[in-house]
Structure 1
């Protein structure tokens, strides 16, 4: 299957999750993520607000709002800008119907970020991910400063593949986190 076919299949799988399954798997994934040493040691974390049945990380934002600093993306032309946000602060709807912080005056520099949580439709054991095809994260990863930030793909176990097709410009993630496991990717 090519990337477009895999995207369609992965989206269909997620849409078939009932509300209860989605919430349960999201809570299990959040609990698993909290056990990961890299997450535990991270203070400034770039994350995302769930859309299209992506794993819902909001329980972490609420529970760890005082101990972690959270940043969220906003689409600026064809790139992502990361803004700080704390639990309870206002949100608005940005591009693609995704929630973004209302206060967008501060933009985080990659040199101040400890961990980047990347939403994935699918991921493989080599660290390659399948996103929605817009290239936003691919463009982000080409920046040497963002490339240096540890990146973990967030996906449900059903999206885990042994091997995904990838292009020469695709940059692998350092880890994949599902509701059942954490896969740390070796550098080869």
Structure 2
């Protein structure tokens, strides 16, 4: 199946599943992730689109440790985030911190990204904008552990890759945290 057909298939499939696995996915983040971070490092989560796994609830247990991405001028930028902070729509129409100083990769310990599908090689099928791939093409950002967040049922045998696709370091599902 080509990427366009896969996107369409998984976009409709996710409506059936997300709410039932959200709590267990967030619990895995809270149990496993803090041990991976150095002092004062941030975890980049994402503002969930309709029926993506919503990790924002971990802010209660990890205050001042979260960051959100924002797309401005066709680039993904990472900014500090705390619940209650003023947000504005980024260039993709997703709520994001008001543009401020970007975080440097050495301030980030983990990048979590949603997916429509993923494979055993860590290839992520996103929405087709390439924002995470462009960010991670920078060697400093490539050095940050990056995990796909998606239901286990979104794992497929193989996703067709393009030359710019950068594999993720593993994935987080309702049933496992896997590093490659």
Given the alignment of the two structures, is residue 160 of structure 1 paired with residue 155 of structure 2, yes or no? yes
Give 2:68's match in structure 1, choosing from 68, 72, 92. 72
Superposed displacement of residue 148, structure 1:
0.8
3-state DSSP class of the match of 1:114?
A: strand
Aligned Cα RMSD in Å? 1.6
Matched, 1:173 2:168: yes
Match of 1:56 in 2: 54
Question: How far, CA to CA, are the matches of 1:7 and 1:30 in structure 2?
Answer: 24
Instruction: Indicate if the aligned counterparts of 2:45 and 2:56 stay in contact, CA closer than 8 A.
Output: no
Moved over 3 A (4+): none
CA deviations 1:116-159 (Å, max 9, x no partner) are 11111111111111000011111111111111111011111221
What is the alpha-carbon distance in structure 1 between the residues aligned to residue 91 and residue 44 of structure 2? Answer: 18
Q: Using a 3 Å threshold, how does the CA distance of structure 1 residues 39 and 122 change in structure 2: closer, same or farther?
A: farther
* Shift in Å, 1:39: 4.2
CA distance in 2, matches of 1:76, 1:113: 19
Q: Tell me how far apart the structure 2 counterparts of residues 8 and 41 of structure 1 sit (CA, whole Å).
A: 34
Structure 2: 5+ residue stretches without partners: none
TM-score, L = length of structure 1 = 0.87
Q: 1:101 aligned to 64, 80, 97, which one?
A: 97
Contact 1:39 1:115 survives alignment (8 Å): no
Query: Which residues of structure 1 form unaligned runs of 5+?
Result: none
1:35 shift after superposition: 2.8
2:4 aligns with: 4
Distance 2:23 2:101 in 1: 30
**Greater helix content:** 1
Residues 122-141 of structure 1 correspond to what in structure 2 (within 5 A)?
A: 122-141=117-136
* TM-score, normalised relative to structure 2: 0.90
C-alpha distance in structure 2 between counterparts of 1:92 and 1:184, whole Å: 34
Q: Secondary structure at the match of 1:7?
A: helix
Aligned with 2:143 (options 145, 148, 157)? 148
